[in-house]
Amino acid sequence: MKGCLLSRGFYIETMGCQMNAHDSDFMAQSLIDSGFVPVSSPEQADVILVNTCVVRAKPEQKAYSFLGRASGIKAENPLKFLGIIGCLAQMKGADLLKRFPQLDLIMGPRELSRFPEIVKTIDRPSVKIVATHLDPAPPCHIPGHGCLRKKVTGYVSIMEGCNNFCSYCIVPYVRGRETSRSPKEIMAEAVHLLSHGVKEITLLGQNVNSYLWKGRGGRQRRNFPDLLSELSTLDGLLRLRFVTSHPKDLSDELISCFGGIHNLCPHIHLPFQAGSNRILKLMRRGYTREDYMTLIQKLRAVKPDIAITSDVMVGFPGESDQDFEDTLGLIRYVRFDSLFSFTYSDRRGTAAEQMGDKIDDLTKAARLNTLQNVQKGITLEKNKELEGKPAVILVEGGSKKGHQLSGRTDTYKIVNFIANDRLIGSLVNVKIKRSFLNSLWGEWISSVLPNSQDLRDFGVM
């Protein structure tokens, strides 16, 4: 109790992608290891951190408005520690101090391995720290003792940065060049997670399928399929996933992994961005719509029920009505399980920023609306097809309402159902009863790996 009263609180606001979220988990773990406790608002916290994203204008604005609010909180209590982490910190660096002089820390994503050391200096916030080197060293996110939250699913970052320089994208400028982590480090982190109860691991990177480890003198060469095979043999790993893949690097060898690796989930997130060859070329994506269609055919030949999700953008400079129709055509051809869709946003310093023939906001918004309605129809139809069918769910957690549990199919669809919360962390059979846009409702049938306690709980024994 005494410890609780003396503990200092931290609050992390996370605004970016899964890699950003993973970086926040790493920082939270470092703070917990140093005796801080998580609190639920920046007002209650002694340490306030905002982990930022600049991929579009919207998250960048959100970061500025949060920094304004947090600066106000710190102005009332100067002993608080205020830090900005992530891609906006990398993009603006020390310039941020002009607008937000209350900041104590500005740290880019490639400097994250310094964070545990920085935590030790938090008691002396008069020293401002600016850490924004785009060091090529890979991330080193091996958590210390104990897991942050008792989670069923865990993430392992296998690479950092991106070399692709798609013409619209800021990521290579703020995350630096592509660097793969050693298989040894990746395996060690996976084993650590599994030993703390994690059952499903998602490998993270901006472009995981270009993962390449050469080792000293190229003697320990491993590509992404090699890494998947190695990880899949780990004891206790029920499910293996990865995100994100780039179509231009999706090899036949990787496609065949979906047929050959027993615990690799039948789901791929494969951003296509646009369905018009003219726009794909301007985007510098390195594939055509025909190449993309061929990849989909190959994936479905190996795994007919594989779930395919994607990212797409409307309103890229010069996008005509016909280009947009081509994008809709590709969506109708593939019938994605779900889609993340965005309107193009100018990013400073990118090649697309310099392009003429920008599309006005109203046209962009109308195209996005049309596209989302087309996809909504497809998602609803695909989910409806699952009604009455059995599914295997990895139970991830419970909801506060009654005994409702929640988990995902191997195809990454959320299923809610009623069952005993002792099933959290195990695989169960359910029958899908109803389908919605973003989730399914199921009925518990049995545990896939039954243990006698579960069977007693459900009156089977």
What amino acid is encoded at 456 in this protein? R
The site partner of 311 among ligand SF4, ligand SAH, ligand F3S, none (C-beta below 5 to 8 Å per kind) is ligand SAH
Strands 404-408, 414-418: parallel, antiparallel or unpaired by DSSP?
antiparallel
Tell whether residue 347 is a contact of ligand SAH (CB under 6 A).
yes
Bridge partners, 160 (sequence order): 179
Smallest separation (angstroms) from ligand F3S to the CB of 210: 16
CB 437 within 8 A of CB 165: no
Q: Measured at the alpha carbon of residue 129, what is the angle toward residues 124 and 131, in degrees to the nearest 5?
A: 150
Choosing among ligand F3S, ligand SF4, ligand SAH, none, which partner's interface includes residue 396 (Cβ < 5 to 8 Å by kind)?
A: none
Name which of ligand SAH, ligand SF4, ligand F3S, none residue 11 binds, using a CB cut-off of 5 to 8 Å depending on partner kind: none
Residues 186-225 that bind ligand SAH (CB under 6 A): 206-207
Decide if 154 contacts 203 (C-beta within 8 A).
no
**Phi and psi torsions of 158, nearest 5°:** -105, -15
Do 386 and 443 contact (CB within 8 A), yes or no? Answer: no
**CA of 65: how far to CAs of 82, 300, 371, in Å?**
14, 45, 30
**Part in contact with ligand SAH (CB under 6 A); list of ranges 129-137, 165-173, 276-284, 317-325:** 165-173
Closest to ligand SAH by CB, 56 vs 382, is 56
The CB-of-399 to ligand SAH minimum distance in angstroms stands at: 29
| CB-nearer residue toward ligand SF4: 104 or 178 | 178
Q: Is 285 in the site for ligand SAH (CB under 6 A)?
A: no
Using rule CB under 6 A, residue 286 touches ligand SAH: no
Residue 347 interacts, among ligand F3S, ligand SF4, ligand SAH, none and using kind-specific CB cut-offs from 5 to 8 Å, with ligand SAH
20 binds, among ligand SAH, ligand SF4, ligand F3S, none (CB under 5 to 8 A by kind): ligand F3S
In the complex with ligand F3S, the residue whose CB is nearer, 20 or 426, is 20
CB of 52 to ligand SF4, least distance (A): 16
CB 110 within 8 A of CB 90: yes
Partner whose binding site includes residue 30, from ligand SF4, ligand F3S, ligand SAH, none (CB under 5 to 8 Å by kind): none
Least distance (Å) from ligand F3S to the CB of residue 55?
Answer: 4
Q: Three-class SS string for 74-139?
A: HHHCCCCEEEEEEHHHHHHHHHHHHHCCCCCEEECHHHHHHHHHHHCCCCCCCCCEEECCCCCCCC
What's the CA gap between 274 and 239, in Å, rounded?
31
Q: Taking Cα atoms as reference points, which of 354, 265, 268, 363 lies closest to residue 315?
A: 363
Please count the other Cβ atoms lying within 10 Å of the Cβ belonging to residue 159: 24
Contact call for residue 313 and ligand SAH (CB under 6 A): yes
Which tokens go with 230?
A: 């190695």
- Which residue, 85 or 282, has its beta carbon nearer to ligand F3S? 85
Task: Tell which phi-psi region holds residue 218, choosing left (phi > 0), alpha (psi between -120 and 50) or beta.
Answer: left
Nearer to ligand SF4, 166 or 190 (CB): 166
Residue that has been written with the tokens 């059979």 in this structure: 429
| Distance of closest approach, residue 160 Cβ to ligand F3S, in angstroms | 10
- If one asks whether residue 271 binds ligand SAH (CB under 6 A), the answer comes out as yes
Residues whose CB is less than 8 angstroms from the CB of residue 301 and which lie 6 or more positions away in sequence, other chains included: none
Helix, coil or strand: residue 189 = helix
The residues that touch ligand F3S, with contacts defined as CB under 6 A, are: 16-17, 19-20, 53-55, 86-87, 170-171, 174-175
**Given candidates 153, 210, 244, 276, which one binds ligand SAH under the rule CB under 6 A?**
244
16 binds, among ligand F3S, ligand SF4, ligand SAH, none (CB under 5 to 8 A by kind): ligand F3S
Whether residue 15 contacts residue 53, with contact meaning beta carbons closer than 8 Å, is answered with yes
Question: Toward ligand SF4, which CB reaches closer, 285 or 367?
Answer: 285
Question: Closer to ligand SAH at the Cβ: 29 or 345?
Answer: 345
Binding site residues, ligand SF4, CB under 6 A: 162, 164-166, 169, 171-172, 206-207, 246
Residues binding ligand SAH (CB under 6 A): 55-56, 168-169, 171, 206-207, 244, 246, 271, 273, 311, 313, 342, 344-345, 347
